[in-house]
Structure 1
Amino acid sequence: MTRHGLRRISSSRRFVLDGKPVLVSTSYLPAGLVAGSAITQEDTGPGGTYARLAELGYKPVHFREEIRCRMPSQEEATRLNLSLGTPVNMICRTAFADEGRPAEINEMVLNSASYILEYDFDA
């Protein structure tokens, strides 16, 4: 499966807080770059994916996020233990390395009742 030229290299992950699923996440990375690296392992090691990208010369230096509120798909509702009428937040984060090279696209689906999204920036 591809997303904006990046290949999905790992299965979705589900994050649980106090026994309740709150987020599912899927990462897409440059397949040729990460093939055979620790990024393709279930445990990517200290510092996670971004540390491994830095070791490969793709250190993220800029991020862009797109945020949407919507109803979950059947699969998302099942994985998050939600009814189909419960809204979710979808965050699509693109991590860029030097010279604007996309290093990762991460799609996160959040149980909207479990998160407060807060942003602080200058005008």
Structure 2
Amino acid sequence: ELVKSYYPMPIALGTAITEKRKIRGGTPALLAELGFPPRTSVDRVSARVPTQEQYRALRLPSDLPVLRTLRVVFSDDERPVEATVMVKAGHLYELQYEFTAE
């Protein structure tokens, strides 16, 4: 899986988010410590033809599609605090969604 995450600069500046290292508890814990607790996530999933870079990095065996997920994480007041793009080999994954009526 290839993953790239993006954070608003006013939130990330001067924190471990800007460093190339693991964050204890992950970014959700750090965001919560900074006053931006993750409240809601929205995923948009699509199947696509891989780029040449994705084809090589994922070592795809042939012309298979990739699954691309764009996840946006929102904190209080529906403020976006993280956007993540995940790309994975489409033939290796199955998606499952569960919805609860309100």
Normalised TM-score (structure 2): 0.91
**Residue 41 of structure 1 corresponds to which residue in structure 2?**
19
Structure 1 residue 83, shift from structure 2 partner: 5.0
**Residue 106 of structure 1 corresponds to which residue in structure 2?**
84
Task: Indicate if the aligned counterparts of 1:29 and 1:105 stay in contact, CA closer than 8 A.
Answer: yes
Unaligned runs of 5+ in 1: 1-22
Aligned-CA RMSD value:
1.4
**Residue 12 of structure 1 corresponds to which residue in structure 2?**
none
Summarize the Cα distance change of 1:44–1:57 in structure 2 as closer, same or farther, 3 Å threshold.
Answer: farther
1:71 aligns with 2:49: yes
Structure 1 residue 87, shift from structure 2 partner: 0.5
Aligned with 2:28 (options 50, 57, 61): 50
Unaligned runs of 5+ in 2: none
Structure 1 residue 73, shift from structure 2 partner: 0.6
Deviations 1:81-107 (A, max 9, x none): 115611000000000000000000000
Aligned length: 101
Task: Indicate if the aligned counterparts of 1:44 and 1:52 stay in contact, CA closer than 8 A.
Answer: no
- Report sequence identity in percent: 38
**Residue 96 of structure 2 corresponds to which residue in structure 1?**
118
After superposing the two structures, state which structure 1 stretch, 34-43 or 49-58, moved more: 34-43
Aligned with 2:73 (options 90, 95, 107): 95
In 2, the alpha carbon distance for the partners of 1:122 and 1:30 equals 31
